[in-house]
Structure 1
C-alpha cells in the first residue's frame, strides 16, 4: 500500500485529523470503560453473562472491511470490498478516490457482515473501528460512520490502532503468548516492537514516510 500518497493531500486531510483530535478524549474514555466491562465479566463466574460481541470496521486505506467477532476471537460474520481494481488503473492509491469508494460501500459491507453473523446491532456489546494510522481521508469515513452507529444504538466505542491489530492477529490463529517480537510492514508505517500485552507495546523502531522495500530499492539501484 502506498501510504506516501497521503502527504500529497496533507492540507485537505488536516480537517479530518482535527476531528480525530477532538474525539480522542472520548475514545480513550470508552476504551477504558470497555476494559472495565471485560474485567467485570470474569469477576463473577457464578453469574450468567451474554457473550461479548463486537462489530469491527476497517477503512485505513483502500479496502472497506467489517466483521462481527465474539470474545473468544471467533469471526461470526465478515464482509470486504476491495478497491484494488480501481487503483490498479491509476497506478496507485489516490486518497480522494479511496475516500469516495469507502463512502459508497461502507453501509453495504457493514450490513452484509451483520447479516452473515446473524447478529443485530442491538445485540452488539461494542463497535471497534480503525482510527490510526492510515490515509486520513479513508479513516475519516470509517470513524464518521461508526460514531453514527454508536449514537444510534448507544454502544461503547473502541478505537483501534491498526498496526497493533496486525500484531495481535497472530493470536487468533496460533497459541502465541506474550511477550513476542513483531515486525510490521505496512506501506510507510513500519514498526519493530515487542508485544507485551494488548495495547502494551515496547517500540524498538519505526518509519512513517517510507517502506523498507522502497529504501532497499534506492540502496541497490542508486
Structure 2
C-alpha cells in the first residue's frame, strides 16, 4: 500500500503543535510550543491568552514540522486537525489555519476528536497494537474509559460526572501550595508520603455505572486542610499528596479492570497527561498483571497534548473515508 503522510495540527488548550506522521504510526516530526510558563503565573490556563499565543506561533510551528520531516506541503496527503473538545478560541486558531492549508493546497481536511487523538498515541508507541482494547484516558480536562472496537469506533464505558482527574490534581496541588501544573508535582511529593495516612473517600455509584466522580474527593481534601488549620495541626503535605493520589488511582484501576472483564479484553492502553503518572502506571501494571492483562502507555511526550497523536487518528479516519467539509466548526464539548 502506498505511504500516506498526514500534516496534523493541535491547539485545543495551551500547546500549539504540528506534526508529520507516516501511515498513522511513524512520526517524522512532532513540534510542540508550550505555554506552561506563561500560564503558571495565573495558576491555570487563561483561555484568551492561550488563543493569542496560538495565533502568534502557529505558522512558525507548522513550518518547522514540515522542515524537520524533510517534506513540503505538496508531499502531504491530508491535513488533520483537532476540532474539539477544548477551549473554543484555542481550537478555532488551529482549525482555521488547517482549513486554510487544506483549501489552498487542495488536500483533504480530516477533523479529529482530541480524545481520539490521545487514544491513537498508543498506535505510535506500540506499532503492533490493534483493536479491540480498552483505553483509560486521563488528563487535565478528561477522564474516560473507552472500549476501542476498531479504528475510529469507540464505546464510552465510563466518564467523570464532574471534575476530571487531572483537574482535581491541579486544585489539590494549589491548595497545598505546590503550584501549577499540579499532576507531576503531586506525583513527585507523594513518593515521600504515606498513602494510608489519611482516609479520603472513593466515589462509587449504586447504578452499576463505571463513571467517576472526583469533586467529593477534592472537597474532602480541602476540608481536611481547613480542619488542620483551624485546630492548628501541622499538615504533612507529602501524606496529603500520597493519600489523595491513592484515592484517585484506586477508582481508576478498579473501573478499568471491571471493563476489561466485561468486554473480555486483555489489553489496556493508557492515554492523556495523567498517563505519565508513575504511581498510576505501577499500580495498573501490578494489579492488571495478576489478572493476565497487559498495560500499554505512550512515552511522556505522547501523553501530553501533541500533534503526532492527531496525525495518527487522522490517518485511520482517512483510510475509512472519513473526511471533513470546509464548514467544519470547533466544538468545545465534542463527544467521543
> What is the TM-score normalised by the length of structure 2?
0.50
Given the superposition, is the C-alpha separation of residues 85 and 115 from structure 1 closer, same or farther in structure 2, using an over 3 Å criterion?
A: same
Given the superposition, is the C-alpha separation of residues 107 and 209 from structure 1 closer, same or farther in structure 2, using an over 3 Å criterion?
A: farther
In structure 2, the residue matched to 1:114 is 66
In structure 2, the residue matched to 1:6 is none
Q: 2:144 aligns with which of 162, 171, 191?
A: 191
Encode CA deviations 1:31-63: one digit per residue, 9 max, x unaligned.
xxxxxxxxxxx5xxxxxx4x2110010001000
**CA displacement at 1:104 relative to structure 2:** 0.3
Work out whether 1:201 is the aligned partner of 2:160: no
**CA displacement at 1:156 relative to structure 2:** 0.1
More strand by share: 1
In structure 2, the residue matched to 1:102 is 54
Structure 2 stretches lacking a partner, 5+ long: 169-213, 224-336
Work out whether 1:89 is the aligned partner of 2:90: no
- Aligned pairs, number: 174
More helix by share: 1
Q: Which has the larger radius of gyration?
A: 2
Matches within 5 A, 1:52-63: 52-63=4-15
Q: Give the distance between the partners of 1:108 and 1:156, measured in 2 at CA.
A: 22
Q: Give the distance between the partners of 2:99 and 2:13, measured in 1 at CA.
A: 19
**CA displacement at 1:212 relative to structure 2:** 2.6
Which has the bigger relative contact order, CA under 8 A and spacing at least 6? 2
Let me know the Cα RMSD of the aligned residues. Answer: 1.6
Q: Give the distance between the partners of 2:84 and 2:24, measured in 1 at CA.
A: 24
Task: Tell whether the 8 Å contact from 2:139 to 2:165 is kept in structure 1 after alignment.
Answer: no
> What is the TM-score normalised by the length of structure 1?
0.74
Secondary structure at 2:58 match in 1 = helix
**CA displacement at 1:208 relative to structure 2:** 6.7
Given the superposition, is the C-alpha separation of residues 97 and 76 from structure 1 closer, same or farther in structure 2, using an over 3 Å criterion?
A: same
Q: Give the distance between the partners of 2:65 and 2:89, measured in 1 at CA.
A: 23
Q: 2:124 aligns with which of 172, 175, 182?
A: 172
In structure 1, the residue matched to 2:266 is none
Q: Give the distance between the partners of 1:94 and 1:143, measured in 2 at CA.
A: 19
**CA displacement at 1:218 relative to structure 2:** 1.9
Structure 1 stretches lacking a partner, 5+ long: 1-41, 43-48
